[in-house]
Structure 1
Amino acid sequence: MAPAPEAAPAPVPDGRPVQIFQVSTLYGAATLAAALDAGQFGPREDFRRLLLLSHHTEIPETALRLEDMTGYGRIARRFDGTLDWNETIHPYHPAAWAPRPEEAPLWQRVLRTAWDLGPAPVELVVESIQVNPAKALAGAFPESALHVYADGLMSYGPTRSDLAQSVACRIRRVLHLDLVPGLRPLLLAEYGVEPELVPDNAFRAVLTEIARDAADDPDLARVVAARPTALLLGQYLAALALLSPEEEEELHLRMLRGATAAGHRSVVFKPHPSAPAGYSRALHEEAERTGVRLTVLDGPLLAETFYERSGLKLVVGCFSTAMLTAAVYYGIPVARVGTADVLARLTPFENSNRIPLTVVDHLVTDLEGDGTPAVPGAAPDSLTPLVRAVGYCMRHKIHPGLREEAARFLAAHRAEPGTAHHFTEERLAELALSDRPAPGRPGAPARLRRTLSRARRD
């Protein structure tokens, strides 16, 4: 693996408009690289392009840095310079710090000086606009156009929180991968922002490019030599407080048992980069007990890098985006484990992980069920109404236009096994979408009865 080049200083201002691309993951950086290669940000010679790195883990100094990931150097060459957000705002944490509105002019001068931007117009390309550091950047450059990119399944869900109108009016588009062909993102739709697809062939080409950097990686060569036919994806859900460490360890064991029951005798486990080393110990013990060859693929590698080099027949996860990447871009069958369990305990209802869970639960075969792992393909007709109904229930105030559609869907499908577990009675009663009263209420209000009656007639 060739070492990544050191971050180059930003070039001296040359009068061209500046595009600043904020990234925190290699997958997100690959998405941006594909968009650039597809010409979605205009000709390279017309702009100065700066890559702004941000590290959001609880203790960024101890985490694997994006610059150390295999393939980062190839992506960085598409830019005229790199910047470090953590270094710029030190000692503040990127997830916590943002300038106060009255300080925005001062901070813009500080950033223009620190980054050698001069007086040039600035465009911002950010992820997760509703939180820092994207929110902080939008505040520091209040006149700049904003482009939002989504590198995962959350783009199909509603915006996590309300945006100031001064920010929302500047967002030009949402760039996203076609991870579920036929499903339209809800992200930022309430502000009239249109989604724009990053071409499949451009993204696949970037993944292939990244994989070339791993050609001589000894860890990857060791795993490939084991000729695994199944890959298990760890997500470190304990860090999101969705599971306890013990429950997540058991989830991984369920993945291994399911793969073993399906006939796989050589399996690779790809832990989340933030997961503790001990997470694979129980897996090794279970593999030894059942006679399965288990190899752990750790280190600074995307799971997608392994897809390029292996003959995988199965990818297993809970609700990882990498499952859909395997299916859409590599044609590898996928299966899920534990998705319904996590969905059942997810709180609050508006938790932004709900839509990724909903999509995977509806599309992907349950490894512990009766189905056969498969490539999901295009979104079935049943998925869009389900996602829109769940999205309405998550953030009903920003999508009032979805109410009648959600009511019709629930009237027709609420009792079906594939639908019921996506909604809670408490939430539906709160929104007057259930025949059952909410806790503390004497009965269904008249508005509820009228809504359900109208939905059934339709």
Structure 2
Amino acid sequence: MTQVFHASRFFGAMSLAAAIDAGAFGPPGSAERVLIVTNNAPIPEAALGLDEAPGFGALRDRFDRIVSWNEIIAPLHPSDWKPRSIEAPMLGRLLQSALGLEHIEEMVLESVIVPPARALPGLFKDAMLTIYSDGLMAHSPTRDVLPGEISQRITRLLHLDLVPGLTPLLLGEYGVPAQPLPPGAFTDVVGRVAAASGPMPEGEAIVLGQYLSSLGILTPDEEFKLHADMIRGVIAHGHRSIVFKPHPAAGRRQGRELAQIAAGLNASLTVAPDEVPAEVLFAARRARLVVSCFSTALMTARRFFGLPVATVGADLLLERLTPYENSNRVPVTIVDATIPRLDADGTLTEPSVGDVPGLVEAVAYCMQSAAHPGLRPAAEAYVKANGPMRYFKKKRLEALDLIAKPAPPPPPPPKTGLARLKQIVKG
């Protein structure tokens, strides 16, 4: 028996290790465990692979073998390539033979929506599927409709319990049960990775960058301004040493420019290595404040490491996200509704949302009403109690009959006899 795991991010690999340690995949030695790693960097050849990153040695012993998907499909890029349906059976047999996989009992994937994880179930059609969540995205409705030959094979959704009392919606329309991982298993794994990673940069505050310009949500200039506002807010809050953790895909330019802004305000900024997960920074350094826009790491910082957190720019993202069905909407909503806002003058404003589960269900219904008709009563109750807040678009609420449509304009006044005569002559 063989269990095949897939990871493209260090966060995902740590989640897998925690799940294995917690017994989610049976006792040690019960099956051969093969980890397929992918490097999704724009130029993978110039980027450090997941299994080459500092600290990965702390995860390696959970797996019997580690295989590079990039090497298998080279020179194609893993984020772009997916097999044609007519070729999938043949390629599946060839891959199974080349990898020495006699019988795959279970495939454990970080996604079934986009390549490369989306390609694997189509190649190995006999394996049952476990999906493990990509942070806060697990609370979003499933973005795309899945074919039955995939959805019927998914047995569970493993996830970190990031928001107490909130059950993930991902894959819920297919009847897939959500299974939370014990928080202690995850923090233990992160601690081991931190110990194996070497010295970490020091700072009173940690600012987590997000690569929103690549998604077309913000322009590069707007994204830089957002990060600069975070730096200024942190300094205004009283912190003089900052660690900036850029998004792995963002490059180093922003870090250098942000360091200049910090220096102009009599503070220092150190850029953390790209390959170091934010959670490893949390475990290695007891930060006094962690700031980002809507990163999942805000929740892991608070939930698993007990660190103070704050958000900047979530309200802007709520306006900019298009279409309304954008899967980032629920993560932004959760962060805006549960995390204090850091203002320009350094003050922290606590969120005022009381019923977070009700809000998330209402937003999810507005995003995917056809897939989640059972959420309509919750949406009706929430909107009735709270009105059309900034988490909703008024026209969408009207289209779903969650608020009354505006009255139609009055009919034009009847035309006079002279006007009728002119119309007849004109005609």
Alignment of 1:419-438 (within 5 A): 420-436=389-405
Residue by residue over 1:207-262, the C-alpha shift from the partner in whole angstroms, topping out at 9 and shown as x without a partner, is 000001123x4xx2xx23xxx21111111211222211111111111111111111
Asked if residue 260 in structure 1 is aligned to residue 243 in structure 2, the reply is no
Q: 2:195 aligns with which of 212, 235, 238?
A: 212
Offset of residue 127 of structure 1: 0.9
Query: Would the aligned equivalents of 1:63 and 1:274 in 2 still touch at CA under 8 Å?
Result: no
CA distance in structure 2 between the aligned counterparts of 1:121 and 1:234, rounded to whole angstroms: 38
Partner of 2:205: 230
**Do the aligned partners of residues 143 and 381 (structure 1) sit closer, same or farther apart at CA in structure 2, a change above 3 Å counting?**
farther
* SS of residue paired to 2:79: coil
Offset of residue 381 of structure 1: 5.4
CA distance in structure 2 between the aligned counterparts of 1:59 and 1:414, rounded to whole angstroms: 47
CA distance in structure 1 between the aligned counterparts of 2:275 and 2:141, rounded to whole angstroms: 31
Residue by residue over 1:166-197, the C-alpha shift from the partner in whole angstroms, topping out at 9 and shown as x without a partner, is 11111010000011111100000001100001
CA distance in structure 2 between the aligned counterparts of 1:117 and 1:296, rounded to whole angstroms: 42
Query: Would the aligned equivalents of 1:340 and 1:361 in 2 still touch at CA under 8 Å?
Result: yes
Query: Would the aligned equivalents of 2:9 and 2:50 in 1 still touch at CA under 8 Å?
Result: yes
Asked if residue 293 in structure 1 is aligned to residue 268 in structure 2, the reply is yes
Offset of residue 37 of structure 1: 0.4
Residue by residue over 1:275-332, the C-alpha shift from the partner in whole angstroms, topping out at 9 and shown as x without a partner, is 1221023322221221112222224211222222223110000011111111011110
Offset of residue 76 of structure 1: 1.8
Alignment of 1:113-192 (within 5 A): 113-118=97-102, 120-192=103-175
Asked if residue 302 in structure 1 is aligned to residue 255 in structure 2, the reply is no
Query: Would the aligned equivalents of 1:56 and 1:93 in 2 still touch at CA under 8 Å?
Result: yes
Q: Which has the higher mean CA deviation after the structures are superposed, 280-289 or 314-323?
A: 280-289
Asked if residue 340 in structure 1 is aligned to residue 315 in structure 2, the reply is yes
Gaps of 5+ in 2: 410-427
* SS of residue paired to 2:86: helix
Offset of residue 85 of structure 1: 1.3
Query: Would the aligned equivalents of 1:425 and 1:436 in 2 still touch at CA under 8 Å?
Result: no
* SS of residue paired to 2:206: strand
Query: Would the aligned equivalents of 2:246 and 2:274 in 1 still touch at CA under 8 Å?
Result: no
Alignment of 1:386-405 (within 5 A): 386-405=359-378
* SS of residue paired to 1:102: coil
* Aligned residue type for 1:396: S
* Aligned residue type for 2:95: L
Partner of 1:14: none
Query: Would the aligned equivalents of 1:255 and 1:337 in 2 still touch at CA under 8 Å?
Result: yes
Partner of 1:413: 386
* SS of residue paired to 1:122: strand
Partner of 1:68: 52
Partner of 1:98: 82
Identity %: 44
* SS of residue paired to 1:246: helix
CA distance in structure 1 between the aligned counterparts of 2:123 and 2:275, rounded to whole angstroms: 32
Query: Would the aligned equivalents of 2:237 and 2:347 in 1 still touch at CA under 8 Å?
Result: no
Q: 1:55 aligns with which of 36, 39, 46?
A: 39
* SS of residue paired to 1:107: helix
* Aligned residue type for 1:424: K
Offset of residue 54 of structure 1: 1.4
* SS of residue paired to 1:130: coil
Partner of 1:203: 186
Q: Which has the higher mean CA deviation after the structures are superposed, 398-407 or 190-199?
A: 398-407
Gaps of 5+ in 1: 1-16, 444-458
CA distance in structure 2 between the aligned counterparts of 1:279 and 1:333, rounded to whole angstroms: 24
* Aligned residue type for 2:208: L
Q: 2:14 aligns with which of 1, 9, 30?
A: 30
Offset of residue 160 of structure 1: 1.0
* SS of residue paired to 1:267: strand
CA distance in structure 1 between the aligned counterparts of 2:92 and 2:121, rounded to whole angstroms: 10
Partner of 2:252: 277
CA distance in structure 1 between the aligned counterparts of 2:297 and 2:48, rounded to whole angstroms: 19
Partner of 1:355: 330
Residue by residue over 1:20-60, the C-alpha shift from the partner in whole angstroms, topping out at 9 and shown as x without a partner, is 00100000000000000011000121101000011223333
Query: Would the aligned equivalents of 2:337 and 2:353 in 1 still touch at CA under 8 Å?
Result: no
* Aligned residue type for 2:390: H
TM-score (norm 1): 0.85
Q: Which has the higher mean CA deviation after the structures are superposed, 285-294 or 89-98?
A: 89-98
Aligned length: 408
* SS of residue paired to 2:11: helix
Offset of residue 442 of structure 1: 5.0
Partner of 1:385: 358
Partner of 2:4: 20
CA distance in structure 1 between the aligned counterparts of 2:230 and 2:362, rounded to whole angstroms: 30
* SS of residue paired to 1:208: helix
* Aligned residue type for 1:423: F
* Aligned residue type for 2:335: V
* Aligned residue type for 2:273: D
Query: Larger C-alpha radius of gyration, 1 or 2?
Result: 2
* SS of residue paired to 1:79: coil
